[in-house]
Amino acid sequence: MPYLFTYGTLQDPYIQQRVFRRNLKGGHDVLNGFRISPEKIMGRYLVAEETKGAEDHIEGVVYELEQNELTKADQYEGAAYKKKKVGLKSGKMAWVYIRA
């Protein structure tokens, strides 16, 4: 089962119900070498950008999804984001959505 690292709207239980038809259970984790961009998508949505800087990191929540749920997340995020496989501080390999 794939892991998904989140830092924005996919942490919202209402959004989870709309996208996945369930509330996700996850745990805190950290993505190093990335930061939240000062420029938001459509002026309001957070977006991660890779910096590879040792001082840059994003705190978030990692969820374990079913494979078909990852497809639902792709549809939710849309063309403004792309998915990238990353290593988290916990050692888990997870997908994260970054600027397309």
* Domain extent at residue 11: 3-99
Average pLDDT in the 38-62 region?
A: 96
Q: Are 78 and 47 in contact (CB under 8 A)?
A: no
- The CATH number of residue 91's host domain is 3.10.490.10
Q: Are 29 and 60 in contact (CB under 8 A)?
A: yes
3-class SS at 81?
A: strand
Long-range contacts of 43-48 (CB under 8 A, 24+ apart): 45/8, 45/9, 45/80, 46/7, 46/8, 46/9, 47/80, 47/81, 47/97, 47/98, 47/99, 48/7, 48/96, 48/97, 48/98, 48/99
Total-model pTM: 0.95
- pLDDT reported for residue 34: 98
Q: Which pLDDT band holds residue 81 (cuts at 50, 70, 90)?
A: very high
pLDDT digits (tens, 9 = 90+) for 3-39: 999 999 999 999 999 999 999 999 999 999 999 999 9
Backbone dihedral region for residue 91 (phi beyond 0: left; psi -120 to 50: alpha; all else: beta): left
Instruction: Give me the number of domains the chain comprises.
Output: 1
